[in-house]
Structure 1
Amino acid sequence: MKTAMQMRDFLFSTMCIIIGLIVISPVIYCVSASFMSSGDLSSYPPKFIPSRLFLKNYEIVFTSTPLLRFIWNSFLIAIIGTVGRLITSSLAAYAFSFLEFKGKKIWFLVILGTMMIPGDMLFITNYITVANMKLINTYSGVIIVMMASATYMFILRQHFLSISKEYRDAAFIDGCGDFRFFTSLLVPMSKSILSSIFIASFIGLWNAYLWPLIVTNSENMRTVQVGITMLQSSESIIYGPIMAGVTVILIPSVLVFIIFQKQLVQGITLGGLKG
């Protein structure tokens, strides 16, 4: 019986490793291709390992485009937008979980209803609003539409509902108010789910393309996803530098995942235990 269970665990682990390698294989090839010369990239049959390290691709990326400026723009937008989402989503979720007010269920249904509207449908109205506020080609114009998320409000509200209201009652008996209970007890108790949302939001905003493209019109305001397209021309596409640029802009997302990996695993484990 024990041998059968060990064999089953071994087969399951092997299958997970194979699936993981298949999923991550495009990223691995991207990193490998970033060190290939044009000859390696156009060879047949295709090469998956460069014949020699060709660092010229990275030199082209940093000399032909202000990539560091693009990275700074994307990082600033992603970090401010993510923090803004965490603040607005957690406060709204707290109100819908612990407070009682008129029209509470209706307002929550309205928020859920906004999740059914495709984001692309809002580009025109958002652009007109941002233009009327004279925020075109500014950080504020890019970030302002990213400061709230109905999806994260819903996720946090469901998490807060799983926390007993007796904690709040006990805190109030000890003299805590709503704000102190929220910051001193509820937020630390929700660190895992907040970390998961931080990762998802940061990566989503880091990879944002269409809205930053629409609302910015100068090179200094471009984000990495928009700026990386400057490496290709109408006449040809130089794959080596593009792969090098993509590899560089993958680094912040990987670092964020590594930093919050422990909290992410805890959040998944906690969700499994509650389920």
Structure 2
Amino acid sequence: MHQRTYLRARRRIVYVVVGFLSLLIGCLVIFPIFYAFCTSFMSASELTSWPPKLLPERFTYLDNYRAVLTKTKMPRFMFNSLVLAGGGTLLRLVTASLAAFSFSFYEYRGRNALFFLILGSMMIPGDAVVISNYVNVSRMGLMDTYLGLIVVYGVSATNVFMMRQYMRTLPTALRDASLIDGCSDMRFFLHVVLPCATPVLFSVGISSFVNLWNAYIWPLLITNREEMRVVQVGVTMLSTEDDPAYGRVMAAVSLILVPSILVFVLFQRRIVSGITTGSVKG
């Protein structure tokens, strides 16, 4: 009896400690975002006041947002990021689903070796291949083009792995039945496999979109013209030594965060479902 009471008390203490640590970490993560959002509504006098203010005098001060949207090229930067994120995500979905379909439903020599080679590429840091990618894209004449921005993001080993793990859970009887009915491989892929893989497609697509929306290093290297910059690069151009423009920078940061936050809030369940769907094969 005393042993059970001790275990219950110990379990409650663990839950309380874990809950407190989770809350603390959550606050540490959210606070910079909250502070940036509040700062975006502050005037220049509020930003330079002492002691510093956490909350603005009023949340109806929109001059910083008007300046960002009308006096800078931030709308153009956001359009470029949307093209990069949307095009790169679509290309990743196509390549990952086709590769996963090949690894899951075809038998050929070197299949496993090729798959492990793709997995091995996950251990190579992305920065290690930036120079070679830059040289290749430059030789192809794709500098300052949308294709040059997107092409290096067309394949993701992580996405191939996730899609392959899910497709391996599909029963082989589906393909046998489709062959008996005279269904071609491509038709089986489009009309049977992809509809069944909707959860993992959503998860892969959403994570890819957010990652590409936040891309910085490659867009910085591949674009020279200001009109081709993306938001992550463009926001650094709003501040200068003569004019730090903290209010405008924070307003731009708040606008940049909106797509990522909306995606995760609206599709949180689909993301979790897609990640866990192929984790167990039964």
TM-score w.r.t. structure 2 length?
Answer: 0.86
Aligned equivalent of 2:107, options 100, 111, 114: 100
Matches within 5 A, 1:23-34: 23-34=29-40
Whether contact under 8 Å (1:65, 1:230) holds in the other structure is no
What is the aligned length?
275
CA-to-aligned-CA distance 1:38-92 (integer Å, 9 cap, x gap): 3333344432211123322112212331111111111011101001001001110
What is the aligned partner in structure 2 of residue 246 from structure 1? 253
1:201 counterpart = 2:208: yes
Aligned equivalent of 1:81, options 81, 85, 88: 88
Aligned equivalent of 2:54, options 45, 48, 56: 48
Cα distance in 1 between the residues matched to 2:70 and 2:133: 35
Cα distance in 1 between the residues matched to 2:198 and 2:26: 27
What is the aligned partner in structure 2 of residue 177 from structure 1? 184
C-alpha RMSD of matched pairs (Å): 2.8
Matches within 5 A, 1:127-146: 127-146=134-153
Cα distance in 1 between the residues matched to 2:71 and 2:237: 9
Cα distance in 1 between the residues matched to 2:214 and 2:125: 17
Quote how far apart the aligned CAs of 1:261 are. Answer: 3.4
Letter in 2 for 1:34: S
For residue 52 of structure 1, give the secondary structure of its aligned residue in structure 2: coil
Letter in 1 for 2:162: I
Letter in 2 for 1:250: L
For residue 237 of structure 1, give the secondary structure of its aligned residue in structure 2: coil
- State the identity %: 47
1:120 counterpart = 2:142: no
Show structure 2 runs of 5+ residues with no match.
1-10
Show structure 1 runs of 5+ residues with no match.
none
Cα distance in 2 between the residues matched to 1:271 and 1:34: 42
Letter in 1 for 2:54: F
1:162 counterpart = 2:169: yes
Quote how far apart the aligned CAs of 1:204 are. Answer: 0.6
Quote how far apart the aligned CAs of 1:167 are. Answer: 1.9
What is the aligned partner in structure 1 of residue 158 from structure 2? 151
TM-score w.r.t. structure 1 length?
Answer: 0.88
Letter in 1 for 2:37: V
Quote how far apart the aligned CAs of 1:262 are. Answer: 4.2
Letter in 2 for 1:24: I
Whether contact under 8 Å (1:191, 1:263) holds in the other structure is no
Whether contact under 8 Å (1:212, 1:222) holds in the other structure is yes
1:68 counterpart = 2:75: yes
Aligned equivalent of 2:262, options 255, 261, 265: 255
Whether contact under 8 Å (2:86, 2:209) holds in the other structure is yes
